[in-house]
Amino acid sequence: MKRSKVLMLVGVVLLASLFVLPLWNITLEAPQYPEPIGFNIHINKLADMNPNDIKNINIMNHYVGMKEIPETLPEFELFPYVVIGAILLGLIIGFKMNYKWYLVWFIIMCVLGFLGMYDFYLWEYDYGHSLSDKAAIQFKNPDGTPMAYQPPLFGTKTILNFVAHSYPRSGAYLLFTGMILSVVAFFVGRKESAL
């Protein structure tokens, strides 16, 4: 088998790791939490970083009127099919199509990735902004608007007594690797076809 094909197929297969490994992680640090608390975002669920973390984040957040972190989201129904679709498409391209299609697959993955991040942002925005008007603690920004508690999309941010970290996890790294492999496969394939 051509090297380009192998690279492409390996890249595609890496996506399967998303069914096991977390995509993203949000970690909260606070003086009272010498062991930080947080949760991992998978394609099909939110999971405690350590037992009971989500429950404890909810308890903390209810004081400022934030909704509970949902046990499930509609996206969790959809995402596994999207990933399966991307894998199947990748396999078909890898086995049947020529190297130019590898780039097509990469672009499709980029679009899907962007949509995923945009969806994540919408959820975060809602989570940080839709606050109960009966909240025990209601902070205001200097301009008088209600303070929001949206975690960062990517990076680190201080929210009251918490420092929130939002970063990709192993699943996402493997996804990126897979996507880069498809690009490498494209260039290798082009070189192979030039010979």
In the complex, the residues that contact other proteins under the rule CB under 8 A are 51-52, 55-56, 59, 63, 136-137
User: What are the Cα distances from residue 15, in Å, to 108, 113, 180?
Assistant: 14, 12, 12
Of the pair 136, 195, the CB lying nearest other proteins is at: 136
Residue 46 in tokens: 């939110």
Least separation, in Å, of the C-beta of 39 and other proteins? 14
Least separation, in Å, of the C-beta of 29 and other proteins? 15
Residue 128 in tokens: 């940080």
Beta strands, E only, the chain: 24-30, 33-41, 46-48, 155-159, 162-168
Of the pair 8, 66, the CB lying nearest other proteins is at: 66
Q: How far is it, in rounded angstroms, from Cα 86 to Cα 25? A: 23
Least separation, in Å, of the C-beta of 32 and other proteins? 9
Least separation, in Å, of the C-beta of 87 and other proteins? 36
Least separation, in Å, of the C-beta of 104 and other proteins? 48
Q: How far is it, in rounded angstroms, from Cα 171 to Cα 152? A: 19
Residue 135 in tokens: 């909240």
Of the pair 1, 136, the CB lying nearest other proteins is at: 136
Least separation, in Å, of the C-beta of 137 and other proteins? 7
Phi, psi at 189, each rounded to 5°? -60, -40
Of the pair 55, 100, the CB lying nearest other proteins is at: 55
Of the pair 58, 156, the CB lying nearest other proteins is at: 58
Helices (DSSP H) in 38-99: which residue ranges? 53-62, 74-96
Q: How far is it, in rounded angstroms, from Cα 16 to Cα 88? A: 11
21 half-sphere exposure, CB direction, 13 A CA radius:
14
Of the pair 55, 191, the CB lying nearest other proteins is at: 55
